[in-house]
Amino acid sequence: MAPPPFDVDAVLAALTLTEKASLLSGVDDWFTQSFDRPGLPSPVPAIEVGDGPHGLRKETGIDMVWVPATAFPTASAMGASWDRSLMRRVAAAIGEEARAEGVQVVLGPGVNMKRSPLCGRNFEYFSEDPVHAGELGAAYVAGLQGTGVGASLKHFAANNQEVERTRISVVADERTLRETYLAAFERVVRLADPWTVMCSYNRLLGVHASQNRWLLTEVLREDWGYRGAVVSDWDAVHDRVAALRAGLDLEMPGTQGRTDAEIVAAVHAGELAESVVDEAARRVLQLVARVYPGPAEARGPVMALGHVAGDRLSAEQLRLLHADEHHELAREAAAACLTLLRNQPAPVTETPVLPLTEEASGTVAVIGAFADRPRIQGGGSSGVDPTRVDSPLDALRSIAGRRIVHAPGYVHAPKNDYQDDNPAVFAAHGLSMDDDRLRVRRRSATLVRDLQVAELVQHAGRLPLSDTARDLLDEATAVAETAEAIVVFVGLPLSYEQEANDRVSLDLPSDQLALISRLADLRERTGASLTVVLSSGSPVAMDPWHDRVDAIVETGLAGQGMGAAIADVLFGRVNPSGKIAETFPLAIEDTPGFPNWSGERGTVLYGEGVFIGYRWYDALRRPVRYPFGHGLSYTEFDYDDLRLEVLDAVAGRVRVTCTVTNRGSRAGAEVVQLYVGDPDAAVHRPVRELRGFEKLRLGPGESAPVSFELESRDFAYWDSVASRADGRTGLWRREGGEFRIEIGSSSRDIRLTASLTLPDDPTIPALIPDAELLSVTSSRFVDGHAAQL
C-alpha cells in the first residue's frame, strides 16, 4: 500500500474547529470535504464514495444514472455459493473497477440477518445465519480492501425490514442482538477490519442507530476493538451532536454546513468536548489518507478519458475496466450460485430430468420473459448499470440451436430494469403512467417514483389476468405443445425486491402462477418434462405448483453473467453446487416473527429471540419447503469417518474431521456444513447452529478430508446478566457439559453425528444460580434503554 499522502496528526493540529467540524459530513452525496490553504502542512484531498455492493454504482451527477460497471451476483446469490475465495475475487474485481472509475470507498457489504423473507432488501444480504454471513462478508472486505479501496460494512445494526425503516424501533433483548443481529458484523470487524462501518436507519430500543452510543461505541469500539470510521446511512442522522457523542464520525450526505455549525455551537456552549470532534476528525483523516490513491490516479483512468452521463463506455474504457475478464468472472460466480432445489426422475427413463442432453433431438420450449431479459439484480441503491447482460435464451440457443423454441408467457413488469419506463408495459399491467400515485413528491424523484411503481406492481401482480396476459398464456402453451422438455423462467419482478419497500406476500405474480399451471397441465398431457428456473433474491411460496414440476433451479439475482451460467447448468456443462442460505418456508404464517411483522406503532418486537431462520423451524420441528443449506448436484457425496479431537478442553479448542467422497461419475462441489448443539444449557438454545463450512471440489470417485477447528466461542451463548471484570454486564459463556457435533449436507440432511464433553470455561464467573437470578431485576442493558423507549 502506498504511504499516506499526508501526516494526519500534523494536519489535524493545523485545522480550525470549523474546519474539523466540516470534515465530519460530506460536501454532497458522494464526496468528503477537502482543504487546501496556506498554513496547512499539506492539502487534504476529498475522497469519493460510491454504492455497491454487487458492482460499482458511480453516480454521474444525474439522479439514478450511473457509469457502467460489471454487475456481479447480489449478496443472497453469492451467499448460495458458500465460497469465500470466489467472494474475495469478486470483491477484488469490484475494487479494481472502483479504482478505474475513481471511487475510493465502496458502500458494502451488507451483512444484516434475514429475519423475514418479506424484507425487500434480503437480496442485498447473505444469509439468515451470522457465521455464514460473517465469513462471506469478511471475504468481501478482504478482497475489496486488498485493492486499496475501503469497504463500508452495513447496515449496523438490526435493519431487517424496509417498511418504516427510518423510524422503526427494534425491541430485542441483548442476547438476541449479540448472538444473532450483531454477530456477523463482529466477525467481519475482527477478521477483516473494514475501513468504515455504516450505521443503519432504524432505532434500537428507542435510539436511532446513528445516535446509539451502546452500539457505536460500547459494542463496536470497546468490545470489538474497531478503529475505523463510522459513517451514517444516507440521511440517517437526526441529532448531529448526539450522533457525534455516540461515536458517529462522518455524516452522509452533507447538509451544506447546517450540522457542522451545530457541532461548532455545541463546543462553544460547552456541551461537547472538542476532543470528541478531534477524534472523529482524526478517523476521517485516517480514512482519507488510507484510500486516497494520489492525484494522478484519483479520478480513475476510465473517467480520465471522459464520460457523459447516460453514455456507454468506449472500447478503450472497457479495456481499462477489465470488462471482459470481469464479465467472465461474473459468469463463473453466477454458475457457483445457481442452486438445484429439485430434480425428479422422468417417468420413462427414471433418471433425473436435469441435466438436459445436448445430443438429444427433441424440442426444448423455453418459456418466460425472464429467459430473454433475466432478473439480474434488485432495486434501489445497489443497482448497477451493467457493461453487458447475457441472455439465457441466446446462451441456450448457442448450445441447442434450433431445438430451442420460445414464447414470453407474460409481460415484464414495469421497471424490470432501470431502462424500462414504457407506457405499453404499464398498460399491460393495468397501470397508467399518469396515475396520481406516481406523481413525484420528494427529493430523489426517480427513486420515489420507483417505490410508487413498486407498490403498484405488487398490487397488480395479485389482480385477475388482463386480456394481454391471457393471450400470452395461450401463445406459450401452443409453443410448448410438442416439446420434449419445457423450461419456464419465472421470478419476482424487480419492483418486488426493492430498497425502502417490503414484499406483501411470498407469491409470484398471478400471471406467472397461471403460466406454470398451464404448463403443468401440458406436462401431464404430453409427458414433457417441466423445469422451473426461478429468479428471486428471497424465497417464494411454491404452492400450488411445486409437486407438479420435475425440477427447480433457483438462480438468485445472479448478475450480468447469469444467462450463460443458467444454460451451462441446464445442459450439464456446469454441475450445480449452490445451496440456499435462507430457508424456503411452506407459507408466510410459518416464518419467525410473523405475528410481529412488521411491527406496530413504530415498534417491532423481536419476540422470537435468537430463533430465526432454521433455528426457528428446527425448534418448532416445523416442515419447510427447502431447508437452509439445501442444494442438489448432478453427482452424490458420501460422508464418513467423523473424528473429534479435543485439542485443549479448558480453552474449548476442538478439531473436527471427516471424509467426503464423490460417488458419482461427474466432477462436482459439495458444501460441507458443521453444526453445534448444546442440548442442556441453562438457557433455551437452538437445536443446531452453523459453526463452520467448507466447499470441496471432487472429481468422480475422489475422496478428500475436511477439517474444522472450533474454539470456545463456538460453544458459547451470550449471558446477559453476568458481570464482567470491568463492571459492565454480559459476556460470552461456554457452559460445561455435553455438546453435539453434526456434519451435514444441509441443516436437515445431517450425515454424521458425535458428542463431546467440555468443562466450564474457568475464566468466566460462575453462572448466577436460578434462585439468585430472581432477585436480579433485569440487565443493565435493558434498564439503560428502557428509559428511552
Residue number with CB closer to ligand BGC (121 or 615): 121
Residue number with CB closer to ligand BGC (104 or 381): 381
- H-state helical runs in 157-300: 174-176, 183-192, 213, 240-246, 258-268, 274-291, 295-298
Q: Report the alpha-carbon distance of residue 582 to residue 95 in Å, rounded.
A: 27
Shortest spacing between CB 319 and ligand BGC, in angstroms: 28
Q: What does DSSP assign to residue 72?
A: P
Residue number with CB closer to ligand BGC (154 or 523): 154
Q: Report the alpha-carbon distance of residue 189 to residue 476 in Å, rounded.
A: 51
Q: Which residues of 656-695 are buried (b: 16+ CB within 10 A; e: fewer)?
A: bebebbbebeeebbbbbbbbbbbeeebeebbbbbbbbbbb
Q: At 479, which helix (H) or strand (E)? A: helix 467-480
Q: Which is nearest to 539 in space by CA: 72, 157, 78, 114?
A: 114
Shortest spacing between CB 375 and ligand BGC, in angstroms: 20
Q: How many CA atoms lie within 13 A of 104 on its CB side?
A: 21
Query: Other CB atoms closer than 10 Å to residue 527's CB: what's the count?
Result: 11
Q: What is the dihedral of CA 711, 715, 721, 727, to 10 degrees?
A: -10
Strand 551-554 relative to strand 529-535: parallel, antiparallel, unpaired?
Answer: parallel
Q: Per rule CB under 6 A, is residue 25 in the interface with ligand BGC?
A: no
Residue number with CB closer to ligand BGC (58 or 187): 58
272 strand-pairing partners: none
Shortest spacing between CB 256 and ligand BGC, in angstroms: 18
Angle at 654 between CA 648 and CA 658, to 5 degrees: 145
Catalytic residue among 51, 129, 233, 568: 233
Contacts of 687 (CB under 8 A, 6+ apart): 615, 618, 619, 677
Q: At 680, which helix (H) or strand (E)? A: none
Q: Segment 175-234, which members bind ligand BGC (CB under 6 A)?
A: 233-234
35 strand-pairing partners: 44
Q: Per rule CB under 6 A, is residue 381 in the interface with ligand BGC?
A: yes
Q: At 131, which helix (H) or strand (E)? A: helix 130-145
Instruction: Could you list the beta-strand ranges (E) of 269-412.
Output: 339-343, 364-367, 404-407
Residue that is written with C-alpha cell 441529532 in the block: 239
Q: Per rule CB under 6 A, is residue 154 in the interface with ligand BGC?
A: yes
Contact flags string 232-271 toward ligand BGC, x per CB under 6 A: -xx-------------------------------------
Which residue in the set 19, 48, 51, 582 belongs to the binding site for ligand BGC (CB under 6 A)?
Answer: 51
Do the Cβ atoms of 765 and 723 come closer than 8 Å? yes
Q: Segment 537-596, which members bind ligand BGC (CB under 6 A)?
A: none
Residue number with CB closer to ligand BGC (154 or 412): 154
Shortest spacing between CB 383 and ligand BGC, in angstroms: 10
- In the three-class reduction of DSSP (H, G, I as helix; E, B as strand; rest coil), residue 488 is classed as strand
**Amino acid occupying residue 644:** L
Residue number with CB closer to ligand BGC (31 or 234): 234
Do the Cβ atoms of 689 and 664 come closer than 8 Å? no
Q: Per rule CB under 6 A, is residue 497 in the interface with ligand BGC?
A: no
Do the Cβ atoms of 139 and 133 come closer than 8 Å? no
Q: Per rule CB under 6 A, is residue 451 in the interface with ligand BGC?
A: no
Q: Report the alpha-carbon distance of residue 581 to residue 629 in Å, rounded.
A: 6
Q: Per rule CB under 6 A, is residue 107 in the interface with ligand BGC?
A: yes
Shortest spacing between CB 334 and ligand BGC, in angstroms: 23
Is the preceding peptide bond at 355 cis, omega within 30 degrees of 0? yes
Shortest spacing between CB 156 and ligand BGC, in angstroms: 11
Shortest spacing between CB 107 and ligand BGC, in angstroms: 4
Grid cell listed for 209: 442507530
Number of residues this chain uses to bind ligand BGC (CB under 6 A): 6
Q: What does DSSP assign to residue 538?
A: S
Contacts of 587 (CB under 8 A, 6+ apart): 506, 541, 543
Shortest spacing between CB 555 and ligand BGC, in angstroms: 23
Cα 702 to Cα 444, 693, 699, 745, 752: the distances in Å are 55, 19, 5, 17, 19
Residue number with CB closer to ligand BGC (6 or 125): 125
Residue number with CB closer to ligand BGC (173 or 385): 385
User: Is 233 part of the annotated catalytic residue set?
Assistant: yes
Shortest spacing between CB 447 and ligand BGC, in angstroms: 8
Shortest spacing between CB 154 and ligand BGC, in angstroms: 6
Residue number with CB closer to ligand BGC (53 or 563): 53
Residue number with CB closer to ligand BGC (166 or 468): 166
> What would you measure as the largest C-alpha separation in the chain, in angstroms?
84
Q: Report the alpha-carbon distance of residue 259 to residue 537 in Å, rounded.
A: 37
Query: Other CB atoms closer than 10 Å to residue 344's CB: what's the count?
Result: 15
Residue number with CB closer to ligand BGC (137 or 730): 137
Shortest spacing between CB 312 and ligand BGC, in angstroms: 23
Would you tell me which residues interact with ligand BGC (CB under 6 A)? Answer: 51, 107, 154, 233-234, 381
Catalytic positions, please?
Answer: 233
